[in-house]
Amino acid sequence: MKEHILVTGGAGYIGSVLVPELLSQGYKVTVLDNFMYRQASLGHVCHYPDFQMIRGDVRVERDIRPLLKGVDIVIPLAALVGAPLCAKDPVTAESTNLQAPLDLFQWASRDQLILMPTTNSAYGTGSEGNFCDETSPLNPLSSYAQHKFEVEQSLMERGNAISFRLATVFGMSPRMRLDLLVNDFTYRAVKDRCLVLFEAHFKRNYIHIRDVVATFLWGLDHRDAMVGEIYNVGLTEANLSKMELALAIQRLVPELVILEAPLGRDPDQRNYIVSNAKLESTGWRPRYGLEEGLRELIRGYSMIQNSLYGNV
């Protein structure tokens, strides 16, 4: 009998890549999404008879609680992702990123497996030489990181769950995000031919969106060995500073001009080298390198022009 998976926020950046893969692997999938970005990112999977799309809000009990009946697995993707977005709307951020998952954990049966994306943003300290694995002390600075930290604690206390601490995700998606660092830098390189960096020496880890999706599938296939654990999910070769990332893009877009200026400050003070050895010890390996992902973005941006309020 097919396992039934509920994916909240399944029409978003990661979900619109994950859901087709789950369906192609033979899972029955129900998606709950409020379509806050007016996206139609799952139209290409409506031909699957095992796909169900529900328009609703993960924060509303009458929307989410009935959907938990009859599902075997829950993948909660619904979130306002990133410190800047959460700072713009702190009330919605707290209700979506903190309260909604806590309610979900309470309403879900202990027999239902939960695969939860969290974040490695909570490793941030701003200090040099900050090497982090899953046992490293956390220092959540932004409300986004703090909420994810609290959710992860509750998730591990609940049990029958796996937490994936995602590095900064990049790559093309049907519900594209241009605000993620690699996606943003590449878009500016392609469209503007100029990047202005602040805290250019700050290092962080990156991961391709399709490797994130593969990680969820890996967790489903290896759940017995992985359940109850936290795993960093990143591309080990891509523990890079902003400047190193910009130079990697410049090698593919030679016209790119790179400047440095003290124009901002990362609210999470992400400056760290992240170990992905724990996940790799299970046999998992990323399939997409940084350069491959950058070339993908460059091709993808030939289709995208972020000019909603522009004159050209």
The pLDDT tens digits of the residues spanning 110-132 come to 999 999 999 998 897 767 778 99
What is the mean pLDDT of the segment spanning 209-221?
98
Domain hosting 142: range is 4-171+206-236+276-287
Residue 156 lies in a domain: yes
Residue 255 lies in a domain: no
Residue 262 lies in a domain: no
What is the mean pLDDT of the segment spanning 96-100?
94
Could you tell me how many residues make up the chain? 312
Q: What is the CATH classification number for the domain harbouring 167?
A: 3.40.50.720
The number of folded domains in the chain is 1
185-223 b/e with 16+ CB inside 10 Å = b?
Answer: bbbbbbeeeebebebbebbbbbbbbbbbbbbbbbbbeeb
Which pLDDT score is estimated for 116? 97
Residue 116 lies in a domain: yes
DSSP E strand stretches across 56-184: 73-76, 113-119, 131-132, 161-166, 168-170
Residue 191 lies in a domain: no
| pLDDT > 90? residue 250 | yes
Residue 17 lies in a domain: yes
Q: Which amino acid is at 56?
A: G
Give the separation between CA 65 and CA 9, rounded to whole angstroms. Answer: 15
pLDDT, the chain, mean: 94
pLDDT tens across 39-52, in order? 889 999 999 999 99
Residue 283 lies in a domain: yes
Residue 130 lies in a domain: yes
Which pLDDT score is estimated for 307? 58
